[in-house]
Amino acid sequence: MRHEHIISAKQLSRSDIEEVLDRAAEMAEDPQAVADRHAGTLLGMLFFEPSTRTKMSFTAAMKRLGGDVVDMGSVESSSVKKGESLADTVRVVEGYADALVMRHPSEGSAKMATEFVDVPLINAGDGAGQHPTQTLLDLYTIRENAGFDDLTVGIMGDLKYGRTVHSLAHALTEFDANQHFVSPESLKLPRSVRYDLHEAGATIKEHTELDVVLPELDVLYVTRIQRERFPDESEYREVAGEYQIDAETMDGAKDDLTVMHPLPRVDEIAYDLDDTTHAKYFQQAHNGVPVRMALLDLMLGGDQ
């Protein structure tokens, strides 16, 4: 992984993933041991779309390794507003940093950006494409709570536009998980993702109702309807508010079902579920720091 770009979960093998998760566990256990490991390293932050968790946890991770960040700030306050191309922006910013983290609304943008830079670039979300580092922290959370043996996962919500889903499904295939996808007909997995999963040997089933599959699940991964990606607001309104769960929904689930969500949530998970032992989404968000520390450390050659 040293000096590699991280663009898609498709490029991560099971052993790559386990290496990151093992190192993340060590770092979570003893963060002081690595507090100066990357002193002087600068991470360039290019967020062309809103972010709370991804941006803040990458920032925290770099600082906890002794480094720092240089941040383009919002699109509104940068030269992107003056019409600068993505290629020019990344070419300039690579001169200010040792690695880059980029989020952009266009699918394929992260891959495209790598053609213009030599420093390693991490895709922190490219439109409805991929979000591989979210997947790493999702898997860390799954390993902590359910383990990978004989794992059955339900993924529910916006499977069409949800990039966290596209990345996670690929990685779960590496772990031979049984995958159930639950969504309205109009938000099913894109054909290209389904094709790739089949090619990779995934075991997947698609449903429009949660209750038929809920009793089998070890993990339920809920996602937000990605309103900003709908070409037409009326299409969004047709599906908004469907597929909500609450504490009562858990009556039909295994006692140790792990409920996850990449966050932010809108109304998919009622607040009354937060107080149950099923709710792991805040723990999941916290795991972003050790997991991104481990990934940065491996990319930047911390073990050399």
Residues 6+ apart with CB under 8 A from 283: 141, 144
CB-nearer residue toward ligand NCD: 53 or 254: 53
Please give the Cα distance from 86 to 7 (Å, whole number): 16
Distances (CA, A) of 195 to 50, 85, 144, 156, 223: 30, 33, 30, 19, 21
The yes or no reply on residue 170 touching ligand NCD (CB under 6 A) is no
Taking CB under 6 A as the criterion, the residue among 23, 37, 38, 131 binding ligand NCD is 131
Is 160 a binding residue for ligand NCD by CB under 6 A? The answer is: no
Residues numbered 51 to 80 that lie near ligand NCD (CB under 6 A) are 53-54
And the tokens for 142? 């799954």
Residue among 52 and 79 whose Cβ is closer to ligand NCD: 52
280 is catalytic: no
125 touches ligand NCD (CB under 6 A): yes
Nearest to ligand NCD of 10, 53 (CB atom): 53
Verify binding: residue 286, ligand NCD, rule CB under 6 A. Answer: no
DSSP string, 195-261: HHHHHTT-EEEEES-STTTGGG-SEEEE----GGG-SSHHHHHHHTT-S-B-GGGGGGS-TTPEEE-
203 or 244: whose CB is closer to ligand NCD? 244
CA nearest neighbour of 23 among 242, 301, 220, 293? 293
Q: Which of 54, 89, 141, 223 is catalytic?
A: 54
- Residue 284, interface with ligand NCD (CB under 6 A)? no
Is 262 a binding residue for ligand NCD by CB under 6 A? The answer is yes
For 241, half-sphere exposure in the C-beta direction (CA atoms, 13 angstrom radius) is 3
Residues forming the site for ligand NCD (CB under 6 A): 53-54, 125, 131, 134, 163-164, 224, 262-263
The set of catalytic residues is 53-54, 82, 103, 131
